[in-house]
Structure 1
Amino acid sequence: MDKRTFLKSLGLVATGIPALSFAQEDFFITKADQKKLLAQVLRKGDTIGLIAPAGVIDTEEAIVMTREIFENFGFKIKEGKHIRSRYGNFAGKDEERLADIHSMFADQEVKAIVCIRGGAGASRLLPYIDYQLIANNPKVLLGYSDITALIMAFYKKTGLISFHGAVGISTWSNTVAKNFENQFFLNQPAQFANPTEKGDNFIQYKERITTLKSGQATGTLLGGNLTLLSGLCGSAYLPDFKNAILFLEEVDENIERVDRMFCQLKLAGILDQIKGFVFGKCTDCGPAGGYGSLTLEQVLNDYIKPLGIPAYSGAMIGHIANQFILPVGAQVKIDADKGTMTLLEKVLKD
C-alpha cells in the first residue's frame, strides 16, 4: 500500500479544470451539535456514480467489471469524467479527482457513489472539498482503504454516515453481494460476525476471533485504515473519538510501522477516549528486518489491553474478500467474547 502524505500547499497547473480552492473553513460540525446525516435507501433502477478519488485505474477491465457488478444489482451507471486519468500513481490530478466527487454529489440523478479502488491520494483532496455541497446532497459513499480519508472527513464536517466496504475492484462474493442488498435495499440493522464453519475440521481454524478484553460496549462506530487514521492525526478531518467504538485494518505493512502508528494514536489521545475496539485483518503484514520484530499480537496487547475496554481482533474487516460493509458514524454494540458487532439503528432514510 502506498503511504499518504499531507501537502501544505498544492501546485496548481493550468488545465481546463478550475483551480483548487480551499473549502470554507467555517462550515463544520462540532461534537456538541453533531447530528447524523443519512442518505436515502437504494432501489433497483437508481443511478450509481463511479469515481476514482485515489489510486490510478490500471486497466479498462477494472471499470468494466465494476460496471457489471452494479448492473447485476439492477442499477444504472454513470462514470466520473476523469476515472481514466492518470497523474503519477493517482487517478488524475487533484483537480480532476475533486471535480468527479463534486459532480457526483451535485448530480440529482445519482443516488449513490462507489469508489472503484483505494490506493493513495484521497487525503490531498480534503482541504478543497465543498462540504456544504455534500451536506445539501447526502448520498451513499462506499469504499475503504485510502477512502478512509473521505469517510472520516465527511462525517466530521457534515455528519454523513458513509460505508466502509468493498470497492469496485474488490472480490464480490455472494456473501458481500447479499450484505450489500440487506444494507442498501432493505436497510436492515445487522449483526457483523465472522463465519463459524468448521468444515471437516474438529475445531474452527479459519477466520477466528481473539478476545483481547472481555465485555460489551456501545458507541459510535469510527475507524478504517490504520495508516490513514494515523496520518490524519492533528488535522481538522478526524471526528471526536470520545465514547467511540474504534475499528482498524491494515495491509502490506511491517509490524514496526504498525507499532509506530498505534503509538501515534495513543499519543494523540485517541485510544484513551474510546469505549471499545475491533481490529480486522492485517493482510500481508510481517516482521521488520534487522534485529527481529514484535508480533501483531504483542502490539495489540501493549496498546489495547491496558485500556481495560472490551476489545477483540480478527474481524472480517480489511483487504479481504468477504469483508463487512460497516456504516461509519452509526451506533453499534460490540461483544468482545463472541466477536460480534450489532448495528443499533437504521442508517438510511426509507
Structure 2
Amino acid sequence: MVAPASAPRDLDRYQAGLAQLRSHYEVRTAWTSGQERGYLAAPDSARTAALHEAIRDADIRAIICVRGGYGCLRLLPHLDWTLARTHPTLLVGYSDVTALHLAFYARAEWTGLSGPVVTEWGDIDAETTEPFRALAEGETPTLGSNALSPLCSGTATGPLLGGNLSVLTRLVGTPYAPDWEGALLVLEDVAEAPYRIDRMFAHLQHAGVLDAVSGVILGTFRPGEPPTDRPTLSLDTVISDYFEDRPYPVATGLPYGHLLPRCSLPIGVPAALNVEEDTSHLQVLQSIVAE
C-alpha cells in the first residue's frame, strides 16, 4: 500500500479502508501520516522510493494506492523503468493513478487495475468489491452488459486503455503516453464543466488519439456547474459532437468513474467491445494477473 499522490483527507476513513483490505489480503503499508507536503502525501523522493521498494520486493503481488488527488505526474521522470520491467506488479487505483497506469503500460508493459483506493474500502459494498476481486484474482468477466448504451454500432478488439480524462490528456505528447493505435479507449471524469470536457476531447482529436483508437467506452461523467450567467452546451451534446459519427463502436453509460457503486477495469489487457442497438458489452479477453 503506497501513496503516490495525495494523503487521505480523513484518517479514520483511511483506517477503516485499511482494516477492510486486511480482511481480504495480507497488507504491508508504505505510508504513514506525518509525511505530507501540502497536497502531496510525501515529498516526491519519498513517494518514488516507496514505489521502488514495492516493485523491488518479489513477495509483493499488488500495489494498492491510498487515494488519488494529485501527484502521480510529478513522479514519472524519477521512476526506474528498468526495475519496473524486471518485476511487473499489479497497480491498483484510479483518478490521478491514471498517470501511473498508462506510463507503466507504455514504459514497462505493466497491466493495471483501475479500482478502489484504500480510503474507499470502508465504504464500498459487494456491488463494487466482487467485480474488483474477480479481476484481481485472474478472471476475465464481461462488463457493462446491462448498462452500456450504443452511440455508434460495431465491434472492435484491442488493449483497454484510459481512465480519468483530465489526467490522461496531460500525458498526450509526452514520453509516458501509450501507443493509442487500435486501443479501446475508456474515459470518465468528475467536476468538469461541459466546456472543459469539450476542450479535452478537442485535445484528443487534434493529437490524433480519437482517430487512432478502435473503439470508445464512456464511463460516468458528473460535470461541474458552468457559470449561470453564461451560455453552455449540455454534456450529452458535447459527447455527440465528438463521437456520434465515429467509424468504430462507441458506447456510453459504463458504471465506471468517481461515483459508487462502480465497476473496476483492467488496464492494458486485450478486450472486445460489441455495440449493437439492442445489446452492448465489453468482454475482457486476458487476465491481468501474471502467471
TM-score range, shorter chain: over 0.9
Per-residue deviation, residues 205-263 of structure 1 (Å, max 9, x unmatched): xxx54311112211111101000111111111110111111000001111111000000
Per-residue deviation, residues 9-32 of structure 1 (Å, max 9, x unmatched): xxxxxxxxxxxxxxxxxxxxxxxx
Please tell me whether the aligned partners of residues 65 and 93 of structure 2 are also in contact (alpha carbons under 8 angstroms): yes
Please tell me whether the aligned partners of residues 219 and 245 of structure 1 are also in contact (alpha carbons under 8 angstroms): yes
Per-residue deviation, residues 296-327 of structure 1 (Å, max 9, x unmatched): 11111111123221101110110021222211
Q: How far off is 1:180 after superposition?
A: 2.5
Quote the residue 1:300 is aligned against.
239
Distance of 1:83 and 1:215 partners within structure 2: 49
Q: 1:331 aligns with which of 250, 265, 270?
A: 270
C-alpha RMSD of matched pairs (Å): 1.6
Distance of 1:224 and 1:288 partners within structure 2: 27
The structure in which a higher percent of residues are helix is 2
Distance of 1:89 and 1:164 partners within structure 2: 22
Quote the residue 2:204 is aligned against.
265
Structure 1, unpaired ranges of 5+ = 1-49, 197-207
Per-residue deviation, residues 259-289 of structure 1 (Å, max 9, x unmatched): 0000000111100111100000112433344
Quote the residue 1:345 is aligned against.
286
Q: How far off is 1:128 after superposition?
A: 0.7
1:129-168 → structure 2 map (5 Å cutoff)? 129-168=79-118
Distance of 1:339 and 1:188 partners within structure 2: 20
Secondary structure in 1 matching 2:177? coil
Tell whether 2:121 aligns with 1:180. no
Q: 1:215 aligns with which of 154, 164, 171?
A: 154
1:22-101 → structure 2 map (5 Å cutoff)? 50-73=1-24, 75-81=25-31, 84-101=34-51
Give the aligned residue type for 2:7. V
Structure 2, unpaired ranges of 5+ = none
Give the aligned residue type for 2:133. E
Please tell me whether the aligned partners of residues 148 and 281 of structure 2 are also in contact (alpha carbons under 8 angstroms): no
Per-residue deviation, residues 177-199 of structure 1 (Å, max 9, x unmatched): 211222222x11110125x4xxx
Identity of aligned residues (%): 31
- Whose radius of gyration is greater, 1 or 2? 1
Distance of 1:332 and 1:126 partners within structure 2: 27
Per-residue deviation, residues 146-168 of structure 1 (Å, max 9, x unmatched): 00000000000011111111111
Quote the residue 1:9 is aligned against.
none
Distance of 2:239 and 2:14 partners within structure 1: 37
User: Number of aligned pairs?
Assistant: 287
Distance of 1:64 and 1:82 partners within structure 2: 11
1:224-263 → structure 2 map (5 Å cutoff)? 224-263=163-202
Please tell me whether the aligned partners of residues 116 and 167 of structure 1 are also in contact (alpha carbons under 8 angstroms): yes
Secondary structure in 2 matching 1:86? coil
